[in-house]
Every structure is written in C-alpha cells, then in structure tokens.
C-alpha cells in the first residue's frame, strides 16, 4: 500500500483483477460515465473482501457505506423476501445507497464463495468532488 497526496490509500491489484473491476464499472449506467482518472482512482482505492457461501453481504433497509464489485462468484438479490436477480461476475452492486444516499434497497446474499472489491462511500465521494474541483479550477 502507498499513499497519495490526499492520503487516499492505493491498494495494488494485478492486471486481471483491475480489468474485471473496470469491466464491472463499465456495465453500470452511472459509473460508466466517470472520467478515466476518476475511475482509475476508484479502482485503486478498492479493497478485497472474500465471503463464504450463504453470507449476507447487504441487508435491505440498512445504512450502506460500501459500493461493491463482484470479481468472482454468484450473488442473489432479494427484496421483501422475493427474488429479484441472480448476479454473476463481473458486476457492481450496492451502488444505489452510495449514489443516492438511500437505505439499502434490497438484500444481497452470496450463493457461492465470492471475491468482492469494495470502496467506502467517503472515498467514492471525495474522488467525485476532488476531480470536479480540479476541473473547475483549471477552467
Ligand atoms: P443498494 O440499494 O445500495 O443495496 C442493494 C443492492 O441490490 C442495490 O444497491 C443494487 O445494487 C441491487 N439491486 C437492487 N434492486 C435490484 C434489482 N431489481 N435488480 C438487480 N439488482 C438490484
């Protein structure tokens, strides 16, 4: 781990993992619109979370603080105990509470052991704000 000027931690990743996280971002309607530098900073900041089968990763109604990418494994999304979707890698999930400051809209459970990458809400937002500021300052 190394630190940047703003003390954001950079967590090293191999190229394969980087590519999977990036392809997951690109499948998301909001995240695919990020500038390359923002996306790179977000990917750099993500930390690994490995969970066993049957773990509840997100609980509907909770206050959310992490946005996740699924690198490997299979997840189930349910709302009010009804199945919404089975998600395969690569994909982004848990983005709604982070982007829109709402409660978790659904529950997400691992159906298999899953390798996840997560970014904190505060880091996500500071990358958004900082690069918006840099852009503004350079006008
Ligand atoms: P969030 O609300 O933060 O936490 C639960 C996550 O489940 C949500 O973000 C989405 O990533 C995902 N999710 C919610 N509704 C659906 C749906 N209808 N289909 C697929 N994924 C969903």
Tell me if 8 CB under 6 Å of ligand 1.
Answer: no
Please state the domain count of the chain.
1
Tell me if 77 CB under 6 Å of ligand 1.
Answer: yes
Within-domain flag for 2: no
Within-domain flag for 139: no
Tell me if 85 CB under 6 Å of ligand 1.
Answer: yes
User: Whose alpha carbon is nearest atom 18 of ligand 1?
Assistant: 84
Q: What band does 5 get if pLDDT is binned at 50, 70 and 90?
A: very low
Within-domain flag for 106: yes
pLDDT digits (tens, 9 = 90+) for 109-137: 999 999 999 999 999 999 988 876 676 77
Domain of 104? 7-133
CATH number, domain of 96, equals 2.60.120.10
Looking at ligand 1, which atom is closest to the CA of residue 107? 5
Looking at ligand 1, which atom is closest to the CA of residue 98? 3
Residues 109-134: b if buried by 16+ CB within 10 A, e if exposed: bbeeebbbbbbebebbeebeeeeeee
109 versus 9: the higher-pLDDT residue is 109
Within-domain flag for 63: yes
Cα–Cα separations (whole angstroms), residue 123 to 12, 26, 58, 106, 135: 16, 19, 19, 23, 18
Tell me if 60 CB under 6 Å of ligand 1.
Answer: no
Within-domain flag for 70: yes
Helices (H), 27-85: 36-45
Within-domain flag for 1: no
Within-domain flag for 36: yes
**What's residue 95's pLDDT?**
98
**What's residue 130's pLDDT?**
80
**What's residue 6's pLDDT?**
57
Looking at this predicted complex, what is its ipTM?
0.98
Within-domain flag for 16: yes
pLDDT digits (tens, 9 = 90+) for 31-79: 999 999 999 999 999 999 999 999 999 999 999 999 999 999 999 999 9
């Amino acid at each position: 781990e190394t630190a940047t000027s703003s003390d954001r931690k950079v967590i090293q990743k191999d190229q394969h993992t980087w590519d999977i996280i990036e392809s997951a971002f690109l499948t998301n309607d909001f995240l695919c619109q990020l500038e390359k530098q923002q996306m790179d900073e977000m990917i750099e900041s993500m930390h690994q979370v490995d969970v066993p089968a049957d773990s509840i990763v997100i609980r509907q109604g909770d206050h959310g603080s992490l946005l996740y990418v699924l690198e490997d494994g299979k997840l189930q999304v349910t709302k009010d105990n009804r199945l919404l979707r089975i998600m395969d890698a690569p994909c982004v999930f848990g983005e709604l509470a982070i982007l829109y400051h709402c409660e978790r809209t659904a529950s997400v459970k691992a159906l298999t052991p899953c390798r996840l990458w997560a970014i904190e809400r505060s880091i996500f937002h500071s990358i958004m704000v900082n690069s918006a500021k840099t852009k503004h300052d350079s006008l």
